[in-house]
Amino acid sequence: MKNRGLLLFIGVVCLMSFIVKDTYQIPKAWPEPIYPIGKNELTINKVYLGRILFYDPILSVNHTVSCASCHSQFNAFTHADHALSHGIYDSIGTRNSPTLMNLAWQPYFMWDGAINHLDMQALAPISHPKEMGESLNHVLQKLGASKRYKSLFYKAWKDSIPTTETLLKSLSSFMLTLVSNQSKYDSVQLGLVAFTDQEQRGYALFKKHCNSCHTEPLFTNYQFEANGIKVNAHLNDFGRYAITHHPKDSFKFKTPTLRNVEYSFPYMHDGRFESLNEVIQFYASSSSIGDKTKGRTLHLDAKEKVDLHVFLLTLTDKQFLFNRSYGYPMELNTKE
Amino acid sequence: MISKPELFYFMRTNKLLCFFLFQIAFMALPLKSIGQVKLSFVPTIGGAEISLDKEYLLKELGKVTFTKLKFYFGLAGDTSSKSYFLIDLEKKSSCLVEFPLQKNSLNNEFAFWCGVDSFTNTSGVYMGALDPLNGMYWTWQSGYIGIKLEGQIRSMNGDSVSFEYHLGGYQNPFLVCYPVAFKNTKSSDLLVGLDLGRFISFAYQNFPKKVMTPGQDAYLLGKIFSESFYLLDNEK
């Protein structure tokens, strides 16, 4: 009986791994994803529905703001025009929108980890008075009354009436496809091309000073860290502390990935730095955490700063930034 | 219908399939229930049943009106979403829950959870009682509000103060999910009182009037709330 149970278990696991393999490619040498893809099998129809939802301002109360308003593809799905997020009626939020990529590997979301599951993420902007100002109930009503969405939901879920689950899982489906693993760095890892000497020097500096937090291959350790930036007195953002109430978490923020960092300006949770130069300048200054493991500030001379900068540019993934299947869906231009 | 020989033939040629089918049947067997439990929740003050939007005398504090009472009730020992009920005093029918008696509750002991366990809190979207549409999910951060109690207290001198308790949290050490157990229950038809008089007097005198985020206050208030359940005498 016990053995049979085990056999059955193994059978089920094998079956599930087939499903994952077919629909979701895990890049070589990357860890297993955290998102339970077995519970939300990706299909073309779900991903397409998620993409339409992502770009449709119908999710906001006055039909002016979509997810893409704050997460635009050309900036690796963050937004470039404001340091802090910009929602309905021109209200300004308190944080810079993060990039969206490789979300299947991310254990928690938001700068302070307030959200613990990708499926639950969309509830936050939808109901935030300064972001989309809607209610879940009303969004479901609007979608349920729309001819376009009835047919899209039917195709994706065999049920034309949208529910919390199908709405949220569709958005997740689209976001899960946002995988960036085609940068020069990745090609070098695969042995397809080589770094230039300058990039190689930058890489060495990176491994020495940055990799403990911005850990390869995802370029984040997904931990909450303090990198030494000074508290913004206007925002008084306590970071992770607001969630755990633990003093050790004061002013700690989730380490952001550095993939596509060339395009994800402005930088930090409050968008305080405009350029990578400023960021590197900061890390080389006395106020930065410096090298975590050695507990001293990091000294970079002018040449090293440039080398490090040049290495960061190898994390740019043009295939990702210009991938048509992530872009604005033309269907939204047609009247339903 | 298929005949017996046909069935045997099918079984011989599809050994693996039949093996799996039997397996599934076996695994389902122990879950079979041994009877139904009926449980009614009755909010009380001083032992008397109360309802929403009415004023009740609270000895030293004045008069209290509850405008909202909702909480999650979970079956102990089980973390699947099926085992959650949302009790909402506004919907009388939700105060009566029925479920199969589980094997482990045979010795006249009956146990449930008040609140939502942390596994469920971190496992994504659920439907039914746990659908975020029910207004028991925080949106600006993940997590269920396990207990929602709102209303106001009008003091003896006439001024009225409202209170809002949205108690929840899934991260240790502030997990709001408490076991409630009754021993020696005489029947499987239970009337469970919830002493709101005791709860609100204590909360009102010792805690802020609004507790709406996870943390120490929510943790302690959740504990006091869960200790306010008691078995009503008039067990059938």
User: Tens-of-pLDDT digits for all 336 residues of chain A?
Assistant: 445 555 555 544 444 444 444 456 788 889 999 999 888 999 999 999 999 999 999 998 888 889 999 999 988 999 877 667 666 566 666 788 999 999 999 999 999 999 999 999 999 888 887 778 789 999 999 999 999 999 999 999 999 999 999 999 999 999 999 999 999 999 999 999 999 999 999 999 999 999 999 999 999 999 999 988 888 878 788 899 888 888 899 899 999 999 999 999 999 999 999 999 999 999 987 666 644 555 556 788 999 999 999 999 999 999 999 999 999 999 888 877
Mark whether A147 and A271 lie in a shared domain. no
Contact A39 B215 (CB under 8 A): no
Mark whether A234 and A303 lie in a shared domain. yes
**Closest Cα in chain B, distance from residue A302 (Å):** 42
Residue A12 lies in a domain: no
pLDDT tens, B10-38?
A: 556 666 565 555 555 444 444 444 578 88
* A chain contacts of residue B143, beta-carbon cutoff 8 Å: 116
Contact B131 A39 (CB under 8 A): no
* Interface mutation target, options A12, A116, A159, chain B, most CBs of B under 10 Å: A116
Contact B124 A39 (CB under 8 A): yes
**Closest Cα in chain B, distance from residue A36 (Å):** 9
CA distances from B118 to A192, A264, B76, B156 (A): 45, 34, 13, 41
Contact A120 B142 (CB under 8 A): yes
Cβ of A293: how many Cβ atoms within 10 Å? 9
Which of B23, B121, B174 minimises the CB distance to A8?
B23
Mark whether A176 and A324 lie in a shared domain. yes
Mark whether A155 and A261 lie in a shared domain. no
Which of the 8 DSSP states describes residue B167?
E
Residue A25 lies in a domain: no
Mark whether A175 and A57 lie in a shared domain. yes
Residue A30 lies in a domain: no
Taking CB atoms and an 8 Å cut-off, how many pairs form between chains A and B? 74
Asked if A312 and A306 touch (Cβ cutoff 8 Å), the reply is no
Mark whether A158 and A202 lie in a shared domain. no
Q: Which of B98, B135, B176 has its CA nearest to residue A123? A: B135
- For the domain that residue A101 is a member of, what is the CATH number? 1.10.760.10
* DSSP bridge partners of B42: B193
* Interface mutation target, options A85, A112, A120, A224, chain B, most CBs of B under 10 Å: A120
**Could you tell me the maximum CA-CA distance found in chain B, to the nearest angstrom?**
86
Band the pLDDT of B185: cuts 50, 70, 90: confident
Q: Which two tokens stand for residue A229?
A: 């930036």
Mark whether A94 and A217 lie in a shared domain. no
Minimal-distance CA residue of chain B relative to A112: B141
Contact B26 A114 (CB under 8 A): no
Which residues form the domain of A172? 37-180+319-333
ipTM of the complex: 0.82
Mark whether A163 and A207 lie in a shared domain. no
Mark whether A189 and A76 lie in a shared domain. no
CA distances from A275 to A196, A219, A235, A266, A281 (A): 23, 19, 21, 7, 10
Domain count, chain A: 2
With pLDDT > 90 as the criterion, what percentage of chain B qualifies? Answer: 59
Query: What does the domain layout of chain B look like in residue ranges?
Result: 4-231
Give DSSP secondary structure letters for A98-119: PP---GGG-SSBSTT--B--HH
Mark whether A214 and A229 lie in a shared domain. yes
pLDDT tens, B133-158?
A: 999 999 888 999 999 999 999 998 88
